[in-house]
Structure 1
Amino acid sequence: MTHPQERLSASERRQAREARLIAREQARELKPNDFHGGVHPPENKHQSTGEPIGTIPLAEDFIVPLNQHIGATAIPLVKLGDDVLKGQKIAEADGPVSCPVHAPTSGKVVAIEPMAVPHPSGILADCIQIRADGRDQWCTLAPVEDFRSRDADELLEKIRECGIAGMGGAGFPTAVKLNPRGGAEIDTLIINGTECEPYITADDMLMRERADEIIGGVQILAHLLDEPERVLIGIEDNKPEAIAAMRQAAEGTRFHVVVFPTKYPSGGEKQLIEILTGREVPNEGLPANVGIVCQNVGTARAVYRAITLGEPLVSRVTTVVGESLARSRNIEVPLGTPIRHILDCHGIDRKQLQRIIIGGPMMGYTIEDESAPVVKTTNCILAPTYKELPPPPPAQACIRCGLCAEACPASLLPQQLYWYARAEDREKLQAYNLFDCIECGACSYVCPSSIPLVQYYRAAKGDIREARAEKEKADRARERFEFRKLRMEKAEQEKEAKRLARKKAAEEARKQRETNTDSPAAQAAKQEADVVAAALARVKAKQASPEQQLARAQRTLTSAEHRVERMRTKLAEADEAQQAQLAAQLKEAELKLQDARNKLAEAEKLAAAAPQPAESSPAEKAEEREARLSVAGASSSAANAAIEKAKAAAAARANMDPAEKLATEIEALEKRVQKAQARLDKARADDDPNTAAFETALGKMQEKLDAKRAEQSGGQQE
């Protein structure tokens, strides 16, 4: 019997499941929780919400950084002079945690070099500069018609290729965040519409005017996470218009808009998770560890446009606000637009401008170079006056009031972290969970001594990350060194084993020859060796005899006398400038002459006192002659054979025509190359130290062979 549920189609089962989840959510009353600490700074959000989201004219040049996200820097795909279209990929992601970069408008690539980017340190980073052509022409887009019928991996790849990164925080690649590692079971999707930072209203205006696109993106995100049990959209109660718009757009879905009291920093990922679910993310852990994925409303909208329209992330909504501006509002601005161009379009009064802050006054940072561009994480450009946001007063000594610990939303001990950061005690900083600090600035905000605590924490984090990176680098270098050492030791052991094997084989052969003395060949070899040894001994004795020494002394004396005569002749013919030098040389030659005379006298005495050797018998003379012949016989016969062979080859070549001579030379060279290659292969196998020399010799012979072959080919063509 068929079960009724089996007769339903896949879409009908999905709809039934969604209906049950909606009913369950409607029957369940969500009660927001609270988190530890937090502050209530002045919101100052009304300045930029009086106008709809607007636009500005295109800038002349766009500066597109290659790293607008957490992870590896993208690799450029374009070169100088290339024409690009809006939305064209101009840099490829480098690794799994990375994002590609796309052109924000059409134009020409005029520079690829380090330029100013929005960063607290003011460092330069690799960028691509595009000179806009004013047409703002899109490239060909590839939308996905029915995302529910597509595989999750295909959609994730589409999101990755569109370069979407988190637009409300640090810019973590969205495709990586939607694919939790370790097979984590996700039961809750949270959409962050909190936007708790003062002055910033980009998400607020986005929810008011683009709520349908946000909900469409949430549907795609839920599909990618296999329809989690709960989908919660968290919004603070200070955004009534955004709340109404989102609730209206979410009608008919199972998405639940949760409203909770305003408190900074409720927009922090871990704080929002605690507010909406009561769960706490573990130390240095991820939301996926507790079954939750959190995304910003701006990211959800970017996902919607990437899937349904095929648009890569090339623009974002950014708040432009501050009393030094003639006009404060939110704009949809292309990424890469220089901040100077945005400020000029909003009537900046530089006489009243105190500084330029990227982000809000709590977590933002000051930039000095206005040529820095808008990037994927730029949610606000704040241009306050001195009266609106006066510079912080000088820091004073800590009075240990404990207000920072009461305000910390991560339940840390900011005072202790401050002392350890000043002492550069990295172990204590990590023991006190420094990396759980979200750098919200609540501790600095309530500090009566005006201590810039967050700056100390940020610097300490950078030092620890740098130390970790250096340690990892040193560990990798040590592993490579140890591996190389093991490889070299193994090669030496193999080489020594081969040497010992050859030595053992030679010893065994020698022992075998010594043992088998009865054979005629062994006896003949022994007899020949004895004859040669005796003859060599007699030759050596003759060379050391008194007669030989006397003859050598006479030759030395004659040479010394001739040298003295030559030096005297030169001295007589030399000019005054050379006489001193030649006189010294003559004196030295005369001393050597005297020494030669003394040695001759000694040799004459020895020769007179030595007994006269008996004359060798004819048989002994024959043996000596036979020994000398046996010693030189092998080399002489080999040399004669080689000479005869060379003569025959020369005679044969003399009768050849040039083509035959060339063919013969090529054949000989080919044989030599083969022999050289065999010798090189053996040297490589034996790890011979002369391997490099063999390679050089083979290369030269191969060049000569190639030249001869080319000469032969040219002759055949003619």
Structure 2
Amino acid sequence: MLRKLFKFHGGVKPATHKEQSTTAPIAPVPMPDRLVIPLHQSVGGHPRPLVQVGDKVLKGQRIGAADGQLSAAVHASTSGTVRAIAPTLMPHTSGLTALAVTIEPDGEDRWCELERIDVRSASPDEIRDYLRDAGIVGLGGAVFPSHLKLKPGKSGTLKTLVINGAECEPFITCDDMLMRERADAMLQGIITMRQLLQAEEVLIGIEDNKPQAVAAVQAAIQKSGESGIEAIAIPTRYPAGGAKQLIRVLTGIEVPHGQRSTDYGVQCFNVGTAFAIHEALSLGRPMIQRLVTVTGNVNAPRNYEVLLGTPMDHVVRLAGARPDTDRYIMGGPMMGARMPAFDVPVVKATNCILVGSPALFPPPPPEMPCIRCGECAKACPADLAPFEMYWHSRAKNFGKAQEYHLFDCIECGCCSFVCPSRIPLVDYFRFSKSEIWTREREKDAADTARDRFEFKNFRQEREKQEKAEKLAAKAAATREKVATEPKAAPTPATPTAASPAAQPAPTAAAAPAAPTATGADAAKKALIEAAMERARQQKAQAAAAPKNTENLSPEAQAEIAEIDARRAAAAKPATPPAPDA
């Protein structure tokens, strides 16, 4: 019984250029002189280095630990010596650097002691943690950590597990050759994934321009005796290999943007990811290599099994790059990115090295004004209005671009492919997304700085208040202590003729009696008078004591003594003359 297939909106049919790289089997790549292994090769956190310069490492040894759950570990691709841990140019069109571990191979290619796990007795969470530490990520291009996708969702079970073997991008054939040559091992990984997700059925979608791959997978399914697994040939139309598009074709389910496919009972994985999971769980091998298509402006296009960290020009040299080569593109012509240099390393996201030349990829014609023909909207598989997003992106009106669901764009390039005005629409959309992300980061940084400033002011005000309360409490305690101390009886003074006590007391009518001061006020006045007296004495001593007179010469000391004598003589009162006799 034939399964009913569905259609997705839009899409295009570019020339595939796949036949050139499928004539020869997968070949290994000789060991390069050095391996540059970036620590950040997947979506999520940046793994922290576990080795130091000068360390000896073995093949498969973990050199970068996963940074939280949204991350995956990184391993040494061969045995050798760590020569550097430093920022290195990355395989990204931006030309930015990132921290990488440079290993000089020792030629022995000696494995470390591999950690294995018993899938039958281990819990699902233990298996997921094992896959995280084995560095398993999606090999379809998104490089999302696979252990996070191997969760069945809220319901605890999954209806359909979709395996993506469409490989719709022109020139790329690594998945095609994997299914042809290693279908049995790939299927074992799919079976394990099905058990973890508790999926009722498995649908393997393969474009109908890969008849040999379809036949090989169907034969492996029949050989395994597993029920509920089906390999289906789907119509060749770009981008049928997109996760949402393939789910739509096989199941008829449309997953809205911002929602998870597991909420609809579906999850999607690449065939290369299934093979890597089999290698990790059955053989204990972490992800240290992957299949890479080398094609384009080369004499012998082919698929190679490449160690991660191998320089791209080392791989391209095997295929025989032609003299007019002027660029490397990682990926295909529709969604690939031009590399900033020829010697950037192969990473987990490298499914193809497309060697370019002016003849193969001529300079684009000049961009012309948009005529609002709507061809881009007809071709958009996400059912967007690219011409509207283009106008607002060009005007830097990013808020309006978001209103037209800018972030629903999967950057497949269909709109640019059909545009009669030759407008690089995807470039405008990428620019808008990056600007929005940058502004969001700046806003988050400003909000964080404001929160810190406000908390600092709050802390200072709180400390001032606490200090004032302590001082007030101390003053209150002092007043209470003075008030409770027994007062000394006044000593009677002997009246004299000159003393006020000897004078008759004034009558009430003559003068009012002076108010009697409290004991606290009297003590305070006494303290103030004593302090003022000490200050007067210190001032007098400071004025009287000569300064800088410690190391004077005898002549200076004699001069000072003479001046002091004159001052003393002048200070004495003059003696009156004696009266005449």
TM-score bin (small chain): 0.7 to 0.9
Determine which structure has greater relative contact order: mean sequence separation of CA pairs < 8 Å that are 6+ residues apart, divided by chain length. 2
Tell me what 2:515 maps to: none
Tell me what 1:311 maps to: 285
**Whole-Å separation in 2 of the counterparts to 1:117 and 1:242:** 33
**Whole-Å separation in 1 of the counterparts to 2:190 and 2:447:** 43
- The structure with the largest helix share of the pair is 1
The amino acid of 1:178's aligned partner reads L
Question: Does 2:356 align with 1:384?
Answer: yes
**Whole-Å separation in 2 of the counterparts to 1:393 and 1:59:** 39
**Aligned with 1:463 (options 428, 435, 442):** 435
Tell me what 2:186 maps to: 214
8 Å CA contact 2:203–2:230 kept in 1: the answer is yes
How many residues align structurally? 518
The amino acid of 1:309's aligned partner reads L
What displacement does 1:473 show? 2.5
**Whole-Å separation in 2 of the counterparts to 1:182 and 1:462:** 33
Tell me what 1:141 maps to: 114
Tell me what 1:68 maps to: 41
The amino acid of 1:343's aligned partner reads V
Q: Deviations over 1:540-566 (max 9, x none)?
A: 9xx9xxxxxxxx9xx99xx9xxxxxxx
Question: Does 2:325 align with 1:358?
Answer: no
Q: 1:39 to 1:521 in 2, by over 3 A?
A: same
**Aligned with 1:260 (options 213, 216, 234):** 234
Question: Does 2:517 align with 1:521?
Answer: no
Tell me what 1:111 maps to: 84
Tell me what 2:509 maps to: none
**Aligned with 1:168 (options 126, 135, 140):** 140
The amino acid of 2:31's aligned partner reads L
Tell me what 2:220 maps to: 249
**Whole-Å separation in 2 of the counterparts to 1:258 and 1:436:** 28
Tell me what 2:206 maps to: 235
**Aligned with 1:199 (options 139, 160, 171):** 171
Question: Does 2:394 align with 1:422?
Answer: yes
8 Å CA contact 2:91–2:340 kept in 1: the answer is no
Tell me what 2:448 maps to: 476
Tell me what 1:30 maps to: 3
8 Å CA contact 1:184–1:288 kept in 2: the answer is no
**Whole-Å separation in 1 of the counterparts to 2:157 and 2:191:** 18
**Whole-Å separation in 2 of the counterparts to 1:360 and 1:241:** 22
5+ residue gaps, structure 1, are 1-25, 514-518, 544-551, 560-568, 574-588, 605-718
8 Å CA contact 1:184–1:289 kept in 2: the answer is no
What displacement does 1:184 show? 6.8
**Whole-Å separation in 2 of the counterparts to 1:290 and 1:131:** 48
What displacement does 1:142 show? 2.5
SS of equivalent residue, structure 2 residue 488: helix
Question: Does 2:19 align with 1:46?
Answer: yes
Tell me what 1:78 maps to: 51
What displacement does 1:192 show? 0.5
8 Å CA contact 2:72–2:136 kept in 1: the answer is yes
SS of equivalent residue, structure 1 residue 279: coil
**Whole-Å separation in 1 of the counterparts to 2:266 and 2:489:** 91
**Aligned with 2:74 (options 101, 105, 114):** 101
What displacement does 1:522 show? 5.7
The amino acid of 2:214's aligned partner reads I
Q: How does 1:287-302 map to 2 (within 5 A)?
A: 287-302=261-276
8 Å CA contact 1:184–1:291 kept in 2: the answer is no
Q: Deviations over 1:221-278 (max 9, x none)?
A: 11111x2122211111111111111111112222122221110001111111111122
**Whole-Å separation in 2 of the counterparts to 1:399 and 1:435:** 24
Tell me what 2:460 maps to: 488
Q: 1:282 to 1:447 in 2, by over 3 A?
A: same
SS of equivalent residue, structure 1 residue 57: coil
What displacement does 1:105 show? 1.1
**Whole-Å separation in 1 of the counterparts to 2:231 and 2:282:** 24
What displacement does 1:152 show? 0.6
TM-score by length of structure 2 reads 0.83
SS of equivalent residue, structure 1 residue 111: strand
Worse-matched range after superposition: 425-434 or 101-110: 425-434
**Whole-Å separation in 2 of the counterparts to 1:362 and 1:426:** 24
8 Å CA contact 1:164–1:312 kept in 2: the answer is yes
SS of equivalent residue, structure 1 residue 493: helix
Q: 1:291 to 1:487 in 2, by over 3 A?
A: farther
8 Å CA contact 2:61–2:75 kept in 1: the answer is yes
Tell me what 2:475 maps to: 503
Question: Does 2:29 align with 1:56?
Answer: yes
TM-score by length of structure 1 reads 0.68
8 Å CA contact 2:87–2:100 kept in 1: the answer is yes
Q: 1:424 to 1:522 in 2, by over 3 A?
A: farther
Tell me what 2:310 maps to: 337
8 Å CA contact 1:235–1:260 kept in 2: the answer is yes
Percentage of identical aligned residues: 47
Q: Deviations over 1:328-387 (max 9, x none)?
A: 1111111111011011122112x2224211111111111131110111111111113433
**Aligned-CA RMSD value:** 3.1
Tell me what 1:23 maps to: none
Tell me what 1:626 maps to: none
Tell me what 2:251 maps to: 277
Structure having the higher Rg = 1
8 Å CA contact 2:157–2:199 kept in 1: the answer is no
Q: Deviations over 1:159-184 (max 9, x none)?
A: 11110111112211111222367667
